[in-house]
Amino acid sequence: MRPSQVKAKLIRGEPALITCCHFIDPSVYELVSLMGFDGIWLDLEHHSTSDETASNLMRAARVGASDIIARPAKGEFMRMGRLLEAGAQGIMYPRCESAEEAEELVRWAKFAPQGIRGVDGANGDNPYCAMPMPPYLRAANEYTLLIAQLESPNALDHAAAIASVPGIDVLMLGPGDLSVVAGIPYQFDHPLILDAYRRIAEAAENAGKWWGTVSGTPEHTQKLFDLGAKFICHGCDLIMVKQGMEQIQHRYASLGFTFDNRIAAEASRLERPQ
Protein backbone atom coordinates (compact mmCIF):
# COMPACT_ATOMS: atom_id res chain seq x y z
CA MET A 1 0.00 0.00 0.00
CA ARG A 2 1.08 3.60 -0.47
CA PRO A 3 1.97 5.43 2.77
CA SER A 4 0.05 8.60 3.56
CA GLN A 5 1.88 11.71 2.42
CA VAL A 6 -0.26 13.79 4.77
CA LYS A 7 0.64 11.69 7.80
CA ALA A 8 4.33 11.70 6.85
CA LYS A 9 4.34 15.50 6.69
CA LEU A 10 2.51 15.82 10.00
CA ILE A 11 5.02 13.50 11.66
CA ARG A 12 7.83 15.72 10.36
CA GLY A 13 6.11 18.78 11.80
CA GLU A 14 5.19 20.16 8.38
CA PRO A 15 1.75 21.50 7.41
CA ALA A 16 -0.39 19.54 4.97
CA LEU A 17 -2.70 21.20 2.43
CA ILE A 18 -5.80 19.33 1.31
CA THR A 19 -8.15 20.50 -1.43
CA CYS A 20 -11.66 19.27 -2.20
CA CYS A 21 -12.87 17.79 -5.48
CA HIS A 22 -16.61 17.52 -6.11
CA PHE A 23 -16.58 16.76 -9.82
CA ILE A 24 -16.51 13.04 -10.58
CA ASP A 25 -14.41 13.13 -13.75
CA PRO A 26 -11.23 11.12 -13.04
CA SER A 27 -9.24 13.72 -15.00
CA VAL A 28 -9.78 16.21 -12.16
CA TYR A 29 -8.30 13.81 -9.60
CA GLU A 30 -5.46 12.95 -11.94
CA LEU A 31 -4.67 16.63 -12.49
CA VAL A 32 -4.76 17.58 -8.81
CA SER A 33 -2.66 14.60 -7.79
CA LEU A 34 -0.07 15.21 -10.52
CA MET A 35 0.17 18.82 -9.28
CA GLY A 36 1.29 17.45 -5.93
CA PHE A 37 -1.36 18.57 -3.47
CA ASP A 38 -0.94 16.68 -0.21
CA GLY A 39 -4.46 15.31 -0.24
CA ILE A 40 -7.79 15.32 -2.05
CA TRP A 41 -10.92 15.50 0.09
CA LEU A 42 -13.38 13.04 -1.48
CA ASP A 43 -16.77 13.85 0.06
CA LEU A 44 -19.29 11.01 0.19
CA GLU A 45 -21.27 12.52 3.05
CA HIS A 46 -22.99 15.28 1.11
CA HIS A 47 -22.78 13.91 -2.43
CA SER A 48 -24.31 10.91 -4.18
CA THR A 49 -20.97 9.49 -5.34
CA SER A 50 -21.12 5.71 -5.42
CA ASP A 51 -18.41 3.43 -4.06
CA GLU A 52 -17.64 2.31 -7.61
CA THR A 53 -17.17 5.90 -8.78
CA ALA A 54 -15.08 6.69 -5.71
CA SER A 55 -12.84 3.72 -6.49
CA ASN A 56 -12.24 4.98 -10.04
CA LEU A 57 -11.44 8.47 -8.77
CA MET A 58 -8.89 7.03 -6.35
CA ARG A 59 -7.37 5.00 -9.17
CA ALA A 60 -6.90 8.20 -11.21
CA ALA A 61 -5.25 9.93 -8.25
CA ARG A 62 -2.69 7.15 -7.85
CA VAL A 63 -0.71 8.46 -10.85
CA GLY A 64 0.36 11.43 -8.74
CA ALA A 65 1.32 12.22 -5.16
CA SER A 66 -1.97 13.10 -3.45
CA ASP A 67 -3.57 11.14 -0.64
CA ILE A 68 -7.27 10.47 -0.84
CA ILE A 69 -9.01 11.66 2.31
CA ALA A 70 -12.45 10.08 2.04
CA ARG A 71 -15.39 11.31 4.10
CA PRO A 72 -18.25 8.83 4.52
CA ALA A 73 -21.45 9.83 6.26
CA LYS A 74 -21.81 9.56 10.04
CA GLY A 75 -22.06 5.95 11.12
CA GLU A 76 -21.08 4.46 7.74
CA PHE A 77 -18.46 2.18 9.25
CA MET A 78 -18.90 -0.66 6.74
CA ARG A 79 -18.61 1.78 3.84
CA MET A 80 -15.50 3.20 5.43
CA GLY A 81 -13.84 -0.20 5.12
CA ARG A 82 -14.62 -0.35 1.41
CA LEU A 83 -13.12 3.11 0.89
CA LEU A 84 -9.92 2.06 2.63
CA GLU A 85 -9.83 -1.16 0.64
CA ALA A 86 -10.12 0.86 -2.57
CA GLY A 87 -7.03 2.85 -1.63
CA ALA A 88 -7.99 5.82 0.56
CA GLN A 89 -5.09 6.87 2.75
CA GLY A 90 -7.31 8.62 5.26
CA ILE A 91 -10.83 8.75 6.64
CA MET A 92 -12.46 12.03 7.64
CA TYR A 93 -15.29 11.06 9.96
CA PRO A 94 -18.07 13.68 10.33
CA ARG A 95 -20.02 14.73 13.41
CA CYS A 96 -17.93 12.81 15.94
CA GLU A 97 -19.66 13.51 19.25
CA SER A 98 -17.86 11.44 21.87
CA ALA A 99 -14.87 9.31 22.75
CA GLU A 100 -17.07 6.23 22.32
CA GLU A 101 -17.84 7.19 18.73
CA ALA A 102 -14.15 7.90 18.09
CA GLU A 103 -13.31 4.44 19.45
CA GLU A 104 -15.85 2.94 17.05
CA LEU A 105 -14.17 4.77 14.18
CA VAL A 106 -10.80 3.28 15.15
CA ARG A 107 -12.25 -0.22 15.53
CA TRP A 108 -13.64 -0.27 12.01
CA ALA A 109 -10.61 1.42 10.41
CA LYS A 110 -7.86 -0.71 11.97
CA PHE A 111 -7.06 -4.40 11.64
CA ALA A 112 -6.67 -6.51 14.79
CA PRO A 113 -5.34 -6.11 17.39
CA GLN A 114 -6.14 -2.39 17.19
CA GLY A 115 -9.55 -2.93 15.62
CA ILE A 116 -11.95 -5.22 13.79
CA ARG A 117 -11.53 -4.16 10.15
CA GLY A 118 -12.30 -7.02 7.80
CA VAL A 119 -9.50 -8.54 5.75
CA ASP A 120 -9.57 -8.94 1.96
CA GLY A 121 -6.59 -7.42 0.13
CA ALA A 122 -7.92 -7.92 -3.38
CA ASN A 123 -8.36 -4.24 -4.17
CA GLY A 124 -6.12 -1.22 -4.68
CA ASP A 125 -4.98 -0.96 -1.07
CA ASN A 126 -2.91 -4.18 -0.86
CA PRO A 127 -2.57 -3.78 -3.96
CA TYR A 128 -4.44 -6.64 -5.57
CA CYS A 129 -3.09 -9.39 -3.30
CA ALA A 130 0.49 -8.42 -4.21
CA MET A 131 1.76 -7.93 -0.64
CA PRO A 132 2.12 -10.69 1.95
CA MET A 133 -0.72 -10.21 4.39
CA PRO A 134 1.11 -9.81 7.75
CA PRO A 135 3.27 -6.85 6.61
CA TYR A 136 0.28 -5.38 4.76
CA LEU A 137 -1.87 -5.49 7.90
CA ARG A 138 0.88 -3.81 9.93
CA ALA A 139 1.43 -1.14 7.27
CA ALA A 140 -2.28 -0.39 6.94
CA ASN A 141 -2.62 0.10 10.69
CA GLU A 142 0.45 2.34 10.76
CA TYR A 143 -0.24 4.52 7.75
CA THR A 144 -4.04 4.97 7.73
CA LEU A 145 -4.89 8.51 8.81
CA LEU A 146 -8.00 8.99 10.97
CA ILE A 147 -9.55 12.44 11.26
CA ALA A 148 -12.39 13.08 13.71
CA GLN A 149 -14.51 16.09 12.79
CA LEU A 150 -15.96 18.09 15.69
CA GLU A 151 -18.97 19.98 14.45
CA SER A 152 -21.26 20.78 17.39
CA PRO A 153 -21.07 22.42 20.83
CA ASN A 154 -21.48 18.98 22.37
CA ALA A 155 -18.48 17.68 20.43
CA LEU A 156 -16.40 20.61 21.68
CA ASP A 157 -17.28 19.63 25.25
CA HIS A 158 -15.84 16.17 24.49
CA ALA A 159 -12.81 17.35 22.51
CA ALA A 160 -10.28 16.28 25.13
CA ALA A 161 -11.81 12.82 25.44
CA ILE A 162 -11.95 12.35 21.65
CA ALA A 163 -8.34 13.46 21.30
CA SER A 164 -7.24 10.93 23.91
CA VAL A 165 -8.56 7.94 21.91
CA PRO A 166 -5.63 5.85 20.59
CA GLY A 167 -5.70 5.72 16.79
CA ILE A 168 -7.26 9.15 16.28
CA ASP A 169 -4.65 11.25 14.48
CA VAL A 170 -6.30 14.60 13.76
CA LEU A 171 -9.04 16.69 15.34
CA MET A 172 -10.76 18.77 12.68
CA LEU A 173 -13.08 21.65 13.43
CA GLY A 174 -16.08 21.88 11.10
CA PRO A 175 -17.02 25.57 11.48
CA GLY A 176 -19.93 25.47 9.04
CA ASP A 177 -21.97 22.81 10.81
CA LEU A 178 -20.87 24.09 14.21
CA SER A 179 -22.16 27.57 13.43
CA VAL A 180 -25.51 26.24 12.19
CA VAL A 181 -26.03 23.84 15.10
CA ALA A 182 -25.08 26.60 17.55
CA GLY A 183 -27.63 29.01 16.04
CA ILE A 184 -25.09 31.43 14.57
CA PRO A 185 -25.13 30.29 10.93
CA TYR A 186 -21.91 31.16 9.10
CA GLN A 187 -20.84 33.82 11.59
CA PHE A 188 -17.25 32.66 11.53
CA ASP A 189 -15.97 35.63 13.53
CA HIS A 190 -18.40 34.85 16.37
CA PRO A 191 -16.74 34.35 19.79
CA LEU A 192 -18.07 30.78 19.91
CA ILE A 193 -16.21 29.87 16.72
CA LEU A 194 -13.04 31.66 17.76
CA ASP A 195 -13.16 29.87 21.11
CA ALA A 196 -13.68 26.54 19.30
CA TYR A 197 -10.29 26.95 17.60
CA ARG A 198 -8.67 27.45 20.98
CA ARG A 199 -10.46 24.51 22.61
CA ILE A 200 -9.59 22.06 19.84
CA ALA A 201 -6.00 23.31 19.68
CA GLU A 202 -5.66 22.80 23.42
CA ALA A 203 -7.22 19.32 23.34
CA ALA A 204 -4.96 18.24 20.49
CA GLU A 205 -1.80 19.61 22.11
CA ASN A 206 -2.55 17.96 25.45
CA ALA A 207 -3.11 14.58 23.76
CA GLY A 208 -0.13 14.86 21.43
CA LYS A 209 -2.38 14.90 18.35
CA TRP A 210 -2.61 17.15 15.31
CA TRP A 211 -5.51 19.43 14.51
CA GLY A 212 -6.82 21.47 11.63
CA THR A 213 -9.80 22.94 9.84
CA VAL A 214 -10.87 24.64 6.64
CA SER A 215 -9.29 27.96 5.72
CA GLY A 216 -10.23 30.48 3.06
CA THR A 217 -7.10 32.62 2.90
CA PRO A 218 -3.36 32.51 3.61
CA GLU A 219 -3.92 35.15 6.28
CA HIS A 220 -6.43 32.99 8.12
CA THR A 221 -4.16 29.98 7.70
CA GLN A 222 -1.33 31.86 9.41
CA LYS A 223 -3.61 32.51 12.39
CA LEU A 224 -4.36 28.79 12.51
CA PHE A 225 -0.62 28.05 12.36
CA ASP A 226 -0.17 30.37 15.34
CA LEU A 227 -2.58 28.09 17.24
CA GLY A 228 -0.65 24.99 16.23
CA ALA A 229 -2.83 23.77 13.33
CA LYS A 230 -1.11 21.63 10.70
CA PHE A 231 -3.99 20.02 8.76
CA ILE A 232 -5.40 22.69 6.43
CA CYS A 233 -8.23 22.24 3.91
CA HIS A 234 -8.63 24.91 1.24
CA GLY A 235 -10.42 25.22 -2.08
CA CYS A 236 -12.94 23.29 -4.11
CA ASP A 237 -12.92 22.52 -7.82
CA LEU A 238 -16.61 23.41 -8.21
CA ILE A 239 -16.14 26.89 -6.71
CA MET A 240 -12.99 27.51 -8.74
CA VAL A 241 -14.78 26.70 -12.01
CA LYS A 242 -17.76 28.87 -11.03
CA GLN A 243 -15.52 31.81 -10.14
CA GLY A 244 -13.62 31.41 -13.42
CA MET A 245 -16.85 31.53 -15.42
CA GLU A 246 -18.02 34.59 -13.45
CA GLN A 247 -14.75 36.31 -14.30
CA ILE A 248 -15.32 35.67 -18.01
CA GLN A 249 -18.81 37.17 -17.78
CA HIS A 250 -17.54 40.20 -15.89
CA ARG A 251 -14.76 40.85 -18.42
CA TYR A 252 -16.99 40.49 -21.47
CA ALA A 253 -20.10 42.28 -20.23
CA SER A 254 -18.50 45.62 -21.12
CA LEU A 255 -18.51 44.54 -24.78
CA GLY A 256 -22.27 44.15 -24.76
CA PHE A 257 -22.55 40.44 -24.02
CA THR A 258 -25.44 39.48 -21.76
CA PHE A 259 -26.01 36.29 -19.80
CA ASP A 260 -29.12 34.58 -18.49
CA ASN A 261 -27.39 33.74 -15.22
CA ARG A 262 -29.98 31.67 -13.40
CA ILE A 263 -27.67 30.96 -10.47
CA ALA A 264 -27.22 34.68 -9.78
CA ALA A 265 -30.94 35.30 -10.21
CA GLU A 266 -31.85 32.59 -7.72
CA ALA A 267 -29.30 33.87 -5.20
CA SER A 268 -30.68 37.39 -5.56
CA ARG A 269 -34.23 36.15 -5.04
CA LEU A 270 -33.27 34.36 -1.83
CA GLU A 271 -31.50 37.46 -0.51
CA ARG A 272 -34.60 39.68 -0.93
CA PRO A 273 -36.75 40.15 2.19
CA GLN A 274 -39.82 37.93 2.14
Decide if 144 is inside a domain.
yes
Q: How many domains does the chain have?
A: 1
Decide if 259 is inside a domain.
no
Task: Supply the pTM of this predicted model.
Answer: 0.95
Decide if 182 is inside a domain.
yes
Residue of 3, 69, 6, 57 whose CA lies nearest to 31: 57
Range of the domain at 34: 5-236
Decide if 41 is inside a domain.
yes
Decide if 249 is inside a domain.
no
Decide if 258 is inside a domain.
no
Do the Cβ atoms of 29 and 238 come closer than 8 Å?
A: no
Decide if 231 is inside a domain.
yes
Whichever domain contains 83, its CATH number is 3.20.20.60
Cα distances (angstroms) measured from residue 168 to each of 30, 151, 247: 29, 16, 42
Distance CA 154, CA 196 (A): 11
Decide if 172 is inside a domain.
yes
| Average pLDDT along the chain, 274 residues, taken 10 residues at a time | 94 98 98 98 96 98 97 96 97 98 98 96 94 96 97 98 98 98 97 98 98 98 98 97 96 96 87 71
